């Protein structure tokens, strides 16, 4: 595919290949963008922003809803594109397209809700003749740097609110999965957005990422990815608004009164979907010692029932990781944990980029599989003496994106909600729950700012204060 720059689809002499992670075949090529392309993209986006400012809120709503209709028409192609370039199973690819539809629909609705506020200036002495109100206005150009693991919906979470708010957008998709982002860009262009309101520049993040982030014409950077890259972006961006959706090693607490079958199914769903390559994947299961052995006995058969293979085939539940090097890393971390005394109850075998779903029992908090973000198909299981120790273990992390507890005790549920340091808290569900309209974001090293169209729009706009002196 070509990249979209300056209101047209363009190619470059230098290209990068897009691979199918299951079999290593080449799906397509995309241009390798340059720093000159970034400069041209910013100039084009500036012109696009002028055109976006001419659109009313209803215009933006209408265009976004046209985009929704086009996604509906193209959803099977989009789902297959997700699966082929990223490796998630086709059922998850189809679900991602449905979620993209919801994200863009909600963004369209929020375009009509950019409310102003009257400020009661006469509440301060000497201002009886003053009338004040605010205006919420777009920031200008939004840079959207997107990850590989949700190559469609996480692009939608950035460009939907940006366009709804009246901004122009420069998209830098993940190098492994640019095709979904390019096809969503195509949808927006076909829907009728001003041609220069979107740019989608493909290529190496190392080559063009810093050029985008540091450019003075960019007013807002929204990024989803690793904590290390997020920190680099924040240092490079300068005086810009930033939203950082970063990593995690999400804990799931199991208390004695939990339904263990329900917990095992939730652990499997939230720990192994997309081969564990989800920011809010369950990674650390912390189980009350009174039900520890029983939980493992229930969990292992559920995990072993997952069908592994070609992700484009419908019954398959576990496909490849996006890169073989990542599969090697996960395999190494599992081996390191076993060498340090953990028990591998099932899985952990690697065949190229596929790692069989692993359950690592008796994991210690200082093991790498517990301390860092694994981002792969393995869950660790650790015993706790009571809820206080379970919460202490859950909080023993530099991350804080999502956490979960299973209990029938309302007091314990509230204790969990009040004391666990996480941006998203789930009671009687796995950690991997996200409704696309909710405020989504992390604490600590898991980032700053919120996604969800309503909340993203707030961060992609600025307030003007207007005072009428009578």
| Catalytic residue IDs | 245, 279
3-state secondary structure of 371: helix
Which phi and psi angles does 47 have, rounded to 5°? -65, -40
- Beta carbons within 10 angstroms of residue 248's beta carbon: 31
Sorted by sequence, the CB contacts under 8 Å of residue 90 that are 6+ apart come out as: 79, 80, 83, 311, 312, 313, 314, 316
3-state secondary structure of 322: coil
Angle at 60 between CA 59 and CA 63, to 5 degrees: 85
Can you tell me the distance from the alpha carbon of 172 to that of 224, in angstroms, rounded to the nearest whole number? Answer: 11
Can you tell me the distance from the alpha carbon of 231 to that of 86, in angstroms, rounded to the nearest whole number? Answer: 25
Can you tell me the distance from the alpha carbon of 65 to that of 48, in angstroms, rounded to the nearest whole number? Answer: 20
Pairing of strands 141-145, 168-172: parallel
3-state secondary structure of 392: helix
| HSE (side-chain half, CA atoms, 13 Å) at 76 | 1
Distances (CA, A) of 367 to 118, 164, 332, 470: 54, 44, 12, 67
Can you tell me the distance from the alpha carbon of 248 to that of 270, in angstroms, rounded to the nearest whole number? Answer: 13
CA 65 to chain CA centroid, nearest Å: 22
Select from 151, 148, 29, 19 the least CA-distant residue to 79: 151
The enclosing H or E element of 306 equals: none
Can you tell me the distance from the alpha carbon of 198 to that of 185, in angstroms, rounded to the nearest whole number? Answer: 7
């Amino acid at each position: 595919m070509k990249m979209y720059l300056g209101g047209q689809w363009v190619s470059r002499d230098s290209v990068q290949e897009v691979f199918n992670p299951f079999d290593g075949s080449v799906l397509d090529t995309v241009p390798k963008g340059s720093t000159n392309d970034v400069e041209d993209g910013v100039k084009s986006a500036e012109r696009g922003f002028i055109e976006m400012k001419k659109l009313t809120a209803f215009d933006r709503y209408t265009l976004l809803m046209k985009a929704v209709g086009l996604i509906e028409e193209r959803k099977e192609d989009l789902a297959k594109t997700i699966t082929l370039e990223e490796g998630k199973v086709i059922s998850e690819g189809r679900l991602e397209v449905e979620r993209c539809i919801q994200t863009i629909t909600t963004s369209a609705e929020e375009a009509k809700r950019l409310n102003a506020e009257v400020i009661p200036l006469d509440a301060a002495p000497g201002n009886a003749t003053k009338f004040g109100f605010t205006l919420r206005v777009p920031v200008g150009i939004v840079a959207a740097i997107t990850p590989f693991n949700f190559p469609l919906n996480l692009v939608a979470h950035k460009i939907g609110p940006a366009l709804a708010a009246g901004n122009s957008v420069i998209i830098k998709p993940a190098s492994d999965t640019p095709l979904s982002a390019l096809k969503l860009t195509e949808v927006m262009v076909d829907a009728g957005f001003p041609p220069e309101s979107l740019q989608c520049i493909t290529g190496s993040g190392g080559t063009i990422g810093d050029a985008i982030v540091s450019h003075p014409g960019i007013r807002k950077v929204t990024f989803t990815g690793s904590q290390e890259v997020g920190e680099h972006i924040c240092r490079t961006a300068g005086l810009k608004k930033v939203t950082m959706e970063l990593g995690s090693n999400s804990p799931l607490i199991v208390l004695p009164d939990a339904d263990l079958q329900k917990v095992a199914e939730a652990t499997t769903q939230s720990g192994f979907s997309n081969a564990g390559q989800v920011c809010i994947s369950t990674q650390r299961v912390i189980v009350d010692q009174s039900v520890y052995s029983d939980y493992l006995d229930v969990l292992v058969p559920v995990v072993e029932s997952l069908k592994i293979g070609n992700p484009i085939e419908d019954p398959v539940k576990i496909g490849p990781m996006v890169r073989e090097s990542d599969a090697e890393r996960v395999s190494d971390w599992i081996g390191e944990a076993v060498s340090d005394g953990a028990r591998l109850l099932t899985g952990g075998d690697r065949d190229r980029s596929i790692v069989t779903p692993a359950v690592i029992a008796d994991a210690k908090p200082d093991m790498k599989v517990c301390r860092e973000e694994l981002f792969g198909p393995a869950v660790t299981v650790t015993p706790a003496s009571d809820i206080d120790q379970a919460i202490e273990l859950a909080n023993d992390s530099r991350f804080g994106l999502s956490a979960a507890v299973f209990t029938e005790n309302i007091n314990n549920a509230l204790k969990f909600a009040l004391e666990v340091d996480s941006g998203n808290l789930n009671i009687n569900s796995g950690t991997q729950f996200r409704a696309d309209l909710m405020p989504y974001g992390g604490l600590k090293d898991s980032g700053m700012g919120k996604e969800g169209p309503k909340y993203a729009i707030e961060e992609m706009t600025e307030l003007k204060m207007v005072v009428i002196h009578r």
